[in-house]
Structure 1
Amino acid sequence: MLVLMVAALAALTLGVFASLNPNAPLWLRSVGSLETVLSGQVGLGGVATFTRALGLMALTSLLAGLAAYCKPRG
């Protein structure tokens, strides 16, 4: 479950960084637009895009670390 959440957050993070670049592929900027809508619903619509991207990057990294820590050891 954590790995799927990491994958989803990583896709959103990549989309936000792509939305900062006007030369990025359209499909990737569309993922950034989806993140903008989701951020607006959470109440983070007023936060700058670059700041949201850095925050998502940190959250994704922490969640990936948690997923690696919690994996079954055997």
Structure 2
Amino acid sequence: MGKRAKKTAPYIPTTNGKAEQFIKTLLVEWTNVMPCSNSSGRNELLPAYLRIYSGHRCRMALGSLTPRQRLA
């Protein structure tokens, strides 16, 4: 199973739901759970959050697997 980009129609949220949900999740979890006093500090924490998001958070849509487990 290879990776490939999937393009969606611009300005049509119904075709871009997964990206919209990811952004919402980032706003709720990354900015609130990992609070910082400035943007540069928050940017430094982004790689750590993405490792948690991709490697440790189970997804119901993936049968309770993490994205990393699903791709393996």
- After TM superposition, the score normalised by the length of structure 1 is 0.29
Larger RCO (alpha carbons 8 Å, 6+ apart): 1
User: Which structure has the larger Rg?
Assistant: 2
- After TM superposition, the score normalised by the length of structure 2 is 0.30
**Larger helix proportion of the pair:** 1
